[in-house]
């Protein structure tokens, strides 16, 4: 053992085993190719009104307390707010899902922290069509009443007048502004906070059905008029866009994601800038009510037709990759422990002075490091070092 004390122990090699657990969730959602989905068995005939997405969860709502959730837009689970009403709109903000309704009944708002467990809330009466979140508050708009309502927590709501006679159907938030559109004058209204509203002039006096914000601009679509799409950078000044010819019906819904805008009716239309659009045929011509983008996939819902759910985008299942690489040789000096007259069970002992020799922890490479990247790929790296040390000690007769 005394010979080991003055010897440099050479680690002639080490092996690094890299176990990369890669949860791949890639999709090619083009808004052109769509696949019909299957709602939960208890909701196959539901009248769906709206769908929203946040942080790995899709939530769709509709008439007669129809609620369903999905982590991927493919597999869905039925939920309930315990309120038999017609839910028209849903959004997410400030850690809360908020749904609004147009009746029947007096409970017209429900909230949920997870899309699964819902709590009915008290709100002003109205036919609440849509709700959006931005600037630290929720804002909902009502058709046929010239009203809006706002809330900072989704629980306590304050009614606000917009313009008498306004029939607002959809609302979106972007660039510090709420923009609401509708089908009677004024057809476009803006607000910085849901309290103070200003009427704007649309590109055409159409029935504007939906509005969204993406790529630095608002985009609204209509179900009537010669130009059924318009864009605005600030919500104040609007410019008519162009959707390719052959459109026989109007557009009901629009969203942005994956670098493009997608609008749905009995057909689909796509655009990268919100101004120039290309239409695409769908498997049937029943009207789609709402579309959303999340996790690389577009999902649409509707209230009529044999299949009332469809998606554009295909996932790749998670994969696991294992790679083995060799680390360059390293020379490590041994550390000698003080002599002792007794040896603990299982310790390595020499045949000379009866002392115990121990490698200091700092002499060994660190193990168990881990890393991750922004795409969700997680790598657990296990570095197994000391192969050369073991060989050297065995050759010296120490072990």
Task: Give the pLDDT score at 127.
Answer: 93
In a domain, 57, yes or no: yes
The residue ranking higher by pLDDT, 123 or 334, is 123
Neighbours of 63 (CB within 10 A): 18
Q: Where does a domain end: 312, 330, 354?
A: 312
- Whether the per-residue pLDDT at 253 is higher than 80: the answer is yes
In a domain, 214, yes or no: yes
Q: How many domains does the chain have?
A: 2
> Domain check: are 269 and 335 in the same one?
no
d(CA 46, CA 59): 14
278, containing H or E segment: strand 276-280
Exposure of 273 in the CB half-sphere (CA atoms within 13 A): 6
> Domain check: are 104 and 15 in the same one?
no
Q: Where does a domain end: 248, 282, 312?
A: 312
d(CA 6, CA 384): 25
User: What average pLDDT does range 149-172 have in this prediction?
Assistant: 92
Task: Give the pLDDT score at 4.
Answer: 40
d(CA 81, CA 70): 16
User: What average pLDDT does range 43-55 have in this prediction?
Assistant: 95
User: What average pLDDT does range 154-177 have in this prediction?
Assistant: 92
Percent of the chain with pLDDT over 90: 60
d(CA 185, CA 167): 8
Band (pLDDT 50/70/90 cuts) for residue 305 is confident
* CATH number of the structural domain spanning residue 292: 2.130.10.10
d(CA 85, CA 265): 25
> Domain check: are 217 and 363 in the same one?
no
Q: Where does a domain end: 312, 336, 351?
A: 312
User: What average pLDDT does range 257-276 have in this prediction?
Assistant: 95
> Domain check: are 336 and 254 in the same one?
no
Task: Give the pLDDT score at 162.
Answer: 86
Q: Which of 177, 175, 207, 174 is nearest to 189 (CA)?
A: 177
User: What average pLDDT does range 54-72 have in this prediction?
Assistant: 97
Question: In which domain, by residue range, is 349 found?
Answer: 2-23+318-396
d(CA 15, CA 34): 48
Task: Give the pLDDT score at 245.
Answer: 56
User: What average pLDDT does range 261-273 have in this prediction?
Assistant: 95
Task: Give the pLDDT score at 341.
Answer: 42
In a domain, 125, yes or no: yes
Task: Give the pLDDT score at 163.
Answer: 80
Radius of gyration of the chain (CA): 31
d(CA 385, CA 179): 61
Band (pLDDT 50/70/90 cuts) for residue 244 is low
- Whether the per-residue pLDDT at 28 is higher than 60: the answer is no
Strands of 143-226, DSSP E:
147-151, 158-161, 168-174, 177-182, 188-191, 198-200, 208-214, 217-222
Neighbours of 287 (CB within 10 A): 18
| Least reliable range by pLDDT among 49-53, 150-154, 246-250, 366-370 | 366-370
> Domain check: are 291 and 341 in the same one?
no
Task: Give the pLDDT score at 315.
Answer: 52
Q: Mean pLDDT for the chain?
A: 79
d(CA 150, CA 158): 5
d(CA 242, CA 228): 8
In a domain, 30, yes or no: no
HEC readout, 333-356: CCCCCCCCCCCCCCCCECCCCCCE
Band (pLDDT 50/70/90 cuts) for residue 54 is very high
| Least reliable range by pLDDT among 112-126, 190-204, 246-260, 269-283 | 246-260
Phi, psi of 392, deg, nearest 5: -65, -45
Task: Give the pLDDT score at 399.
Answer: 53
> Domain check: are 355 and 259 in the same one?
no
> Domain check: are 262 and 358 in the same one?
no
Query: How would DSSP label each residue in 118-146?
Result: -EEE----S-EEEEEEETTEEEEEETTS-
Over residues 337-382, the pLDDT tens digits come to: 444 444 344 433 333 333 333 333 333 333 333 333 333 333 333 3
User: What average pLDDT does range 21-27 have in this prediction?
Assistant: 44
3-class secondary structure, 71: coil
């Amino acid at each position: 053992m005394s010979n080991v004390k003055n010897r440099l122990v050479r680690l002639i090699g080490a092996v690094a085993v890299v176990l990369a657990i890669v949860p791949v969730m890639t999709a090619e959602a083009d808004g052109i190719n769509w696949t019909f989905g299957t709602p939960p068995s208890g909701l196959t005939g539901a009248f769906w009104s709206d769908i929203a997405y946040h942080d790995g969860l899709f939530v769709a709502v509709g008439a007669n307390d129809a609620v369903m959730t999905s982590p991927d837009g493919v597999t869905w689970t039925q939920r309930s707010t315990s309120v038999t009403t017609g839910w028209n709109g849903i959004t997410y903000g400030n850690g809360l899902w908020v749904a609004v309704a147009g009746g029947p009944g007096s409970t017209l708002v429900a909230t949920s922290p997870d899309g699964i467990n819902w709590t009915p809330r008290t709100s002003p009466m109205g036919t609440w069509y849509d709700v959006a979140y931005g600037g630290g508050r929720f804002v909902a708009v009502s058709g046929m009443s010239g009203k809006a309502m706002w809330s900072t927590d989704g629980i306590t709501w304050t009614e606000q007048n917009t313009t008498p006679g306004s029939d607002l159907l959809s609302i979106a938030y972007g660039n510090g502004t709420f923009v609401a559109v509708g089908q009677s004058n004024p057809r476009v209204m803006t607000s910085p906070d849901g309290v103070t509203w200003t009427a704007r002039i649309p590109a055409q006096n159409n029935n504007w059905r939906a509005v969204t914000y993406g790529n630095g601009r608002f985009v609204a679509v209509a179900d009537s008029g010669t130009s059924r799409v318009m864009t605005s950078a600030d919500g104040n000044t609007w410019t008519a866009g162009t959707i390719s010819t052959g459109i026989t019906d109007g557009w009901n819904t629009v969203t942005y994601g994956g670098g493009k805008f997608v609008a749905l009716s009995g057909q689909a239309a796509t655009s990268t800038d919100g101004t120039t659009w290309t239409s695409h045929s769908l498997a049937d011509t029943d009207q789609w009510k709402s579309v959303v983008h999340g996790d690389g996939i577009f999902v649409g819902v509707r209230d009529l037709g044999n299949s009332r759910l469809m998606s554009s985008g295909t996932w790749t299942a998670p994969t696991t990759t294992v790679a083995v690489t060799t680390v360059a040789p390293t020379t490590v000096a041994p550390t000698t422990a003080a002599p002792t007259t007794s040896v603990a069970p299982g310790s390595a002992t020499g045949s000379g002075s009866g002392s115990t020799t121990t490698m200091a922890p700092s002499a060994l490479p660190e193990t168990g490091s881990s890393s991750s990247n922004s795409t969700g790929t997680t790598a657990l790296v296990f570095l197994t070092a000391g192969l050369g040390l073991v060989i050297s000690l065995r050759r010296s007769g120490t072990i």
